[in-house]
Amino acid sequence: MLKLNKLQTRRLYYLLALMLGLALAAGLILYSLKQNINLFFTPSQALQANLPAGHRFRLGGQVKPGSVIREKNRLQVHFILTDLKRELPVTYSGILPDLFREGNGAIAEGSWGTASQSKKTFIATEILAKHDENYMPRAMYEELRKK
């Protein structure tokens, strides 16, 4: 009753081979594009990449708690982005998104400042706020912070 059907087995093998080949091809392509697909550099990567002044790129990391300084009478903001290994000072003038808070993630788009200093500064023209996948009510957050 359970006769083997060679045709169907062959079709299955063809499909499996097709899927395997595709997965392999996609994997290789994505691997070779790895750097280009990343949306931003972390501070460590940015310092390592040694990009010239004026070259636009995105810098992403955590806004270092306590580092945000707002200038009086101007919209200029200074803060430090960190990936917990290296940190970089960022300057931005403009309106910040709602979720821009100390300790949260942020992505700054811009380039290295041209001012020749020993300390590198990132001049941002756009700031995006990043949030994580942990949602909780305020009370629960306060409780977690206490711990």
Partner 1 sequence: MFKKPLLQKMLSQTQVFLTRVMSPPYFFSFAEKCLPWFVAVFVAALAYGLIGGLFLAPADYLQGEGFRILYVHVPCAFLSLMIYSVMAVAAAFGLIWRLKLAFAVMRQSAPLGMVFTFLALVTGSLWGKPMWGTYWIWDARLTSELILLFLYLGILALHSALPNRRLADHATAILVLIGFVDIPIIHYSVNWWNTLHQGSTLRLLAPSLIAPSMLYPLLAMTVAFCAYYAIALILRLRCALLSESGAR
Residues contributing to the site for partner 1 (CB under 8 A): 1-5, 8-9, 11-12, 15, 18-19, 22-23, 26, 30, 34, 37-42, 60, 96-99, 101, 104, 107, 126-142
Pair of tokens at residue 102: 């100390």
Nearer to partner 1, 40 or 112 (CB): 40
30 vs 69, beta carbon nearer partner 1: 30
Least Å from the CB of residue 116 to partner 1: 29
Rank residues 25 and 115 by Cβ distance to partner 1 and give the closer one.
Answer: 25
User: What angle (nearest 5°) sits at the alpha carbon of residue 70, between those of residues 68 and 73?
Assistant: 180
> Toward partner 1, which CB reaches closer, 123 or 129?
129
Which residue is it, tokens 């992403």?
60
Work out whether the CA dihedral 35, 41, 45, 46 comes out positive or negative: positive
How many C-beta neighbours within 10 Å does residue 44 have?
16
Residue 24 Cβ vs partner 1, minimum distance, rounded to whole Å: 10
Smallest gap from Cβ 145 to partner 1, in A, equals 10
Strand partners, 87: 82
State the Cα–Cα distance between residues 13 and 7, nearest whole angstrom. 10
| Least distance CB 85 / partner 1 (angstroms) | 15
Contact 76, 92 (CB under 8 A): yes
